[in-house]
Chain A
Amino acid sequence: MTTTPAQAGWRFKQPSVIPGFGLTLGFSLVYLTLIILIPLAGLVWRSASLGWVDFWRIVTADRTLKALEISFGTALIAALINVVFGTIVAWVLVRYKFPGRRVVDAMVDLPFALPTAVAGIALTTLYAPNGWLGSLLMPLGIKVAYTPLGIIVALVFVSLPFVVRTVEPIIEEIDKEVEEAAATLGASRFQTITRVLFPGLAPAIITGFALAFARGVGEYGSVIFIAGNLPKVTEIAPLLIVIRLEEFNYPAATAIAAVMLAISFAMLLVINLLQTWSRKRYG
C-alpha cells in the first residue's frame, strides 16, 4: 500500500459527480436508526439494566432453557432436512427437463409468500390425527401434530426455499467441462458428484443452511398452531417471550429475547467464518 498524496487524508467518500449522496445516505441512516437501531438498542439496554443476578436467574430457569433447546434443536434438524432435500430439489430443477418445471420452480417460493399463520393452520389440519397425513401416520405410531415432530414439519416448510434458492444458481454455473473431464479421467458419476461437484456447492449449501436455521429459530406463526405448546415439551422460545409479555413480565421477555438474539448472531458469525473457510478450501 503506497500512500499517494490524494489518499493521505482520511476520506469518508470517494469523489463522484453523481449528486444526492448526503441526502440519500442521511435519510437512510436516520430511517435505519429510528426503525431498527433504537428499538434494538432499547432491548439490549433493558436487558442490561436487569442486572446479572436477575438476568441469570431468568435465563437459567428450567422452562427457559427447555424452550431455547427446543427452538434451536428443531431449527437445526429442519435445516439439515432442507439441506438434503433442498439440494436434491435444486439439482432436479436445474439439470432435468420435465413438463411444468417452471411451475414447480415458482412453487418453491410459496413459503416466502404464504403467511405463516396460514401455513400453521394448514399443516395442523393435515397432520392432525384425523387429517390427510396424520391419519396415514397414526397406524404407524407416528404422531406429528402437537409433538416436537410437528415443530420440525412447520420449520421445514418455512425454511424450505433457502437451501434451494442459494444452491440453484451455483448448480447453473457449473461448467459442464469439469464433469466431462472427470468422466474422461475415469471417474464414475458418483465420484464426479461427490468429489468434483459437491465441494464447489459446499459454500452455497452452508449459506442456505445458515439462512434456514436462522429463520427456523425465530419462527413463531406457523409453529404455535401445530406445536401444542406444552411447557418444556413443545414450547418454543418465541412463544415463551409472548407468554411472559402477556403476563406483563417484561424483564423475563427481554432477557429471553436478548439471549436468543445473542445466540443467533453468534451462530451466524460462526457460519460466516465457516463459509469463508470452505470458500478458501474448495473455492
Chain B
Amino acid sequence: MADPEIKSYEPVHENLSAAVTESRSARTVLMTIAFVFLGIFLLLPLVIVFKEAFAKGVGAYFASLNDHDTLSAIHLTLLVAVIAVPLNVVFGIAAAWAIAKFEFKGKAFLTTLIDLPFSVSPVISGLVYVLLFGAQAVLGPWLKSHGIEILFAVPGIVLATVFVTFPFVARELIPLMQEQGNGDEEAALSLGANGWQVFRYVTLPNIKWGLLYGVLLCNARAMGEFGAVSVVSGHIRGMTNTMPLHVEILYNEYNAVGAFAVASLLAGLALVTLILKTILEMRYGAELAATRGH
C-alpha cells in the first residue's frame, strides 16, 4: 500500500483536507446561529444584571448593598459555604480513594448513588429534610424538646447545601485518580512511607489541581443554591436569608436596584469561578480529569 508514487499526490491530499470542512457560506451560517444563540441566552442575561444594578448610579448601588439585611445575607452565604464545601471535600477525597484505588463489589452502584443528588430536584432536596426534622416529622418533637433547631435555622441550610453540592468534588476526583493508577502510591509504600504520608506527599500533589477544580464548582453551587435552601430556610430576614433568597425578597418588593445589586455580587462570583476554571483547564488540563464539565 505504501506506494512511493502516492507522495506525488500530496497537493490533492491537501485539497481533500479542505473537503473536510464546510463551505464558507455554511460555516458563516453555523457560526452566526451559534453566536446569536449564545448572545441571547448567555451574554444578555449577564449584561442586564449589571445594567440594572447600576441603573440609578454607583451611589445607589453601594447604598443598597450597605444594608443590614443584605450584609447579614452575605455573611450567612459565606458561613454556609465555609461549612458545606470542606465537608464535601473530605467526603470527595475519601470516596475517590476507596473507589479509584480498590476493586470491590458494588463499586458501580456506589458511584451511581454519589451522582443521585444531580437528578433530584432542588426543591425535593430541601423537602426531604423538612420531612425528617419538621414539626410533623419523625425527629421533630424530639428535637424540639431538646431545644435543637435544624429547620428554619443555619443547620438546615447547611444540610440542604451539602445535599445539592454532594457529588461535585467526588465526581472530579474519581476519574482523575482512576486515570493516575496506584503506581506512585505503591512505590512510596515500598520505600517505607505510611498511609498518611502516601496521601500527603504522593496522592495530594497529584490531585491538587483536580481538587481545586472540584472545590471551585462546589463552592459556586453552594453559594448560589436557591431551591433547596428556600424550602428549609423559612426566609427570616437578617437571620436565615442567604444571598440568593435575599435577591428574591428584594425583587418581589420591587426593589430592582437592590435585587440586582446583590445579584451582581453573585454574578461576579460566577465570573470569577469561570475565569479560574478556564485558567486551570489551560494550565493544568493534563492534571484534571479527562471528562470535562459535569
Contact = CB atoms under 8 A, between A and B. Distances in A.
B270 A110 contact: yes
Contact of A96 (B27, B98, B225): B27
A264 B118 CA distance: 11
Contacts of B22: 189
Nearest to A118: B263
A122 interface: yes
A250 B120 contact: no
Q: Which of A39, A106, A118, A180 has the most CB of B within 10 A?
A: A118
Contact of A241 (B97, B113, B127): B127
Interface stretch (A28-36, A58-66, A273-281): A28-36
A107 B31 contact: no
Nearest to A20: B195
Contacts of B159: 35
A179 interface: yes
B209 interface: no
B205 interface: no
Contacts of B123: 218, 220, 238-239, 241-242, 257
Contact of A218 (B16, B120, B138, B247): B120
Contacts of A98: 31
A25 B48 contact: no
Interface residues of B, number: 106
A17 B198 CA distance: 12
Contact of B49 (A35, A95, A118): A118
Interface in B102-119: 102-105, 110, 113-114, 116-119
Contacts of A91: 30, 34
Nearest to A172: B292
Given A35-B162, A96-B27, A221 B270 contact: no
Interface of A: 11-14, 16-21, 23-25, 27-29, 31-32, 35-40, 42-43, 46, 85, 88-89, 91-93, 95-96, 98, 102, 104-119, 121-123, 125-126, 131-133, 156-157, 160-162, 165-166, 168-169, 176, 179-180, 183-184, 189, 214-215, 217-221, 225, 237-239, 241-242, 245, 248, 250, 253-254, 257, 260-261, 264-265, 268
